[in-house]
């Protein structure tokens, strides 16, 4: 009989499993505490369980574990990129981002991604498979484990989790939500729901479903363009969920949850960073309780794009400031180790450098990008 992975069970499922063995359900909380709070990976170490129970669990169950295959540290900031080898040989990445007052881990929910956003390295990989909930949670546990062993000053527990790594979380909805509940659970990782951010490219029915879950998690919509033509060109998912329906779903999310929403906007040189782009964006989201998070593009070898210049970033930001409820500018972290936003891509499937793109001067590169025409 195949042993059941305890880490793929909710607390209620573990209680039911134990009851089926004739074991009282309160043992489930003890087991969760060993696994998620004391990072134990074998039943033999669970000293408050009877020897008989430990031995039966060893026969009937397992504790799935993903240890990072490698951890690469940034030389410019303290971020760390982890590479995990999954049981089937596929690979994923996640990123630990230490900041002054918080310790964030950015985790993946899929191997690759089917949505093929033009600017994103993960999107160039294509889709391999969904992650199971335990594989999503393991990335947080591994980051905590790393911090416990690290001697870097200020390293503490994980305070924030962002589901912005590889993949579209809302296309792996059930496993993502199971993982979020474990990360948030009082008997597991105890990270407050308000400190968990789910990011989406704009899967409208799933945004509505998430709004009705009664969770306090934050939602970030990766917007990146304020007209359908440009957004469809950058993010093909926009063909299925047009901007008007996406914005309507964002408004419903705010109304249902009472929570402000974040719109992520990656600024790409010559593509979406003009004054007209800023004007369109302000018109689109200016009356929604939201934060617009501007992210200078992080270049990587699988796309021809370049980041907007600091002057263009500032001009874009200055235009938005009086017209949107809140505007922030995200500092790039982990760029030197390929860990920044949009750069995650496991080496086994990394595309070769495309001839004639990243080595060409910026002006030629802009001409080669040829974004769709729009009114000035």
Q: Which of 106, 117, 120, 341 is catalytic?
A: 341
Q: Which of 15, 93, 138, 264 is catalytic?
A: 93
Would you say 113 or 191 has its CB closer to ligand SF4? Answer: 113
**In whole angstroms, how close is the CB of 311 to ligand SF4 at the nearest point?**
26
The window from 63-71, 108-116, 150-158, 329-337 that contacts ligand SF4 (CB under 6 A) reads 108-116
**In whole angstroms, how close is the CB of 117 to ligand SF4 at the nearest point?**
3
DSSP assignment of 41-75: -SGGG-TTS-HHHHHHHHHHEE-----EEEEEE-S
**In whole angstroms, how close is the CB of 257 to ligand SF4 at the nearest point?**
22
CB of 330 within 8 A of CB of 294?
Answer: yes
* Count of C-beta atoms within a 10 Å radius of residue 125: 24
Would you say 63 or 266 has its CB closer to ligand SF4? Answer: 266
**In whole angstroms, how close is the CB of 123 to ligand SF4 at the nearest point?**
3
**In whole angstroms, how close is the CB of 168 to ligand SF4 at the nearest point?**
4
Does residue 345 carry a catalytic annotation? no
Would you say 120 or 223 has its CB closer to ligand SF4? Answer: 120
CA 331 vs CA 77, 79, 276: distances in Å = 11, 12, 24
Would you say 182 or 203 has its CB closer to ligand SF4? Answer: 203
Q: Does residue 167 bind ligand SF4 (CB under 6 A)? A: yes
CA 110 vs CA 92, 146, 169, 193: distances in Å = 8, 22, 7, 21
The CA angle 198-144-96, to the nearest 5 degrees, is 55
**In whole angstroms, how close is the CB of 111 to ligand SF4 at the nearest point?**
11
Query: φ and ψ at 127, to 5 degrees?
Result: -95, 135
DSSP 3-state assignment of 278? helix
Q: Which residues pair with 291 in a beta bridge?
A: 262
Q: Does residue 93 bind ligand SF4 (CB under 6 A)? A: no
Would you say 164 or 324 has its CB closer to ligand SF4? Answer: 164
The window from 62-70, 162-170, 307-315, 364-372 that contacts ligand SF4 (CB under 6 A) reads 162-170
Looking at residues 112 to 131 of the shown chain, list those that interact with ligand SF4 (rule: CB under 6 A).
113, 115-117, 120, 122-123
Q: Does residue 277 bind ligand SF4 (CB under 6 A)? A: no
The window from 36-44, 110-118, 137-145, 188-196 that contacts ligand SF4 (CB under 6 A) reads 110-118
DSSP 3-state assignment of 92? strand
- What lies within 8 Å, CB to CB, of 229 at 6+ separation is 372, 374
CB of 98 within 8 A of CB of 138?
Answer: no
The window from 132-140, 161-169, 225-233, 316-324 that contacts ligand SF4 (CB under 6 A) reads 161-169
Measure the CA–CA gap between 284 and 243, rounded to whole angstroms. 9
Nearest to 198 by CA among 185, 187, 190, 209: 209
Contact pattern from residue 180 through residue 219 relative to ligand SF4, giving x for each residue in contact according to CB under 6 A and a dash for the rest: ---------------------x------------------
DSSP 3-state assignment of 106? strand
Would you say 167 or 296 has its CB closer to ligand SF4? Answer: 167
Select the residue interacting with ligand SF4 from 15, 93, 135, 168 (CB under 6 A).
Answer: 168
DSSP assignment of 201-262: S--HHHHHHHHTT----EEEEE---SSHHHHHHH-GGGGTS-HHHHHHHHHHHHHHH---EE
- The residue with tokens 């794009």 is 305
Does residue 93 carry a catalytic annotation? yes
- What lies within 8 Å, CB to CB, of 319 at 6+ separation is 275, 278, 279, 282
Would you say 201 or 313 has its CB closer to ligand SF4? Answer: 201
Number of residues that bind ligand SF4 (CB under 6 A): 12
Catalytic residues: 93, 341
Contact residues: ligand SF4, CB under 6 A: 113, 115-117, 120, 122-123, 166-168, 201, 222
């Amino acid at each position: 009989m195949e042993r059941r992975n305890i880490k793929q069970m909710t607390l209620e499922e573990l209680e039911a499993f134990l009851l089926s063995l004739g074991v009282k359900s309160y043992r489930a909380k003890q087991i969760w505490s060993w696994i998620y709070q004391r990072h134990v990976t074998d039943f033999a170490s669970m000293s408050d369980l009877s020897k008989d129970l430990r031995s039966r669990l060893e026969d009937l169950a397992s504790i799935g574990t993903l240890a990072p295959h490698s951890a690469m540290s940034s030389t410019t900031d303290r971020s760390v990129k982890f590479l995990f080898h999954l049981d089937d040989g596929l690979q994923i990445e996640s990123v630990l981002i230490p900041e002054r007052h918080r310790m964030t881990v950015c985790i993946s929910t899929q191997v690759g991604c089917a949505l093929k956003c033009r600017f994103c390295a993960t999107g160039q990989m294509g889709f391999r498979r969904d992650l199971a909930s335990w594989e999503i949670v393991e990335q947080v546990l591994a980051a905590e484990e790393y911090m416990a062993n690290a001697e870097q000053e200020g390293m503490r527990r994980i305070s924030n989790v962002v589901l912005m790594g590889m993949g579209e979380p809302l296309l792996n909805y059930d496993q993502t939500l199971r993982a979020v509940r474990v990360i948030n659970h009082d008997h597991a990782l105890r990270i407050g729901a308000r400190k968990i951010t789910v990011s989406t490219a704009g899967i409208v029915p799933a945004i509505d479903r998430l709004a009705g879950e009664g969770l306090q998690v934050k939602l970030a919509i990766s917007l990146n363009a304020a007209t359908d033509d440009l957004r469809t060109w950058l993010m093909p998912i926009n063909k299925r969920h047009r901007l008007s329906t996406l914005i309507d779903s964002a408004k419903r999310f705010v109304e249902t949850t009472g929570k402000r929403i974040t719109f992520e906007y990656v600024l790409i040189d010559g593509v979406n960073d003009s004054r007209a782009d800023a004007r369109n964006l302000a018109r689109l989201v200016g009356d929604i309780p939201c934060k617009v998070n501007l992210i200078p593009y992080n270049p990587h070898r699988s796309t021809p794009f370049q980041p907007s210049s600091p002057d263009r970033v500032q001009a874009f930001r200055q235009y938005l400031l009086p017209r949107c409820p809140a505007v922030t500018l995200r500092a790039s972290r982990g760029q030197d180790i390929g860990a920044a936003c949009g750069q995650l891509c496991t080496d086994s499937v990394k595309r070769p450098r495309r001839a004639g793109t990243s080595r060409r001067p910026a002006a030629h590169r802009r001409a080669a990008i040829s974004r769709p025409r729009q009114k000035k």
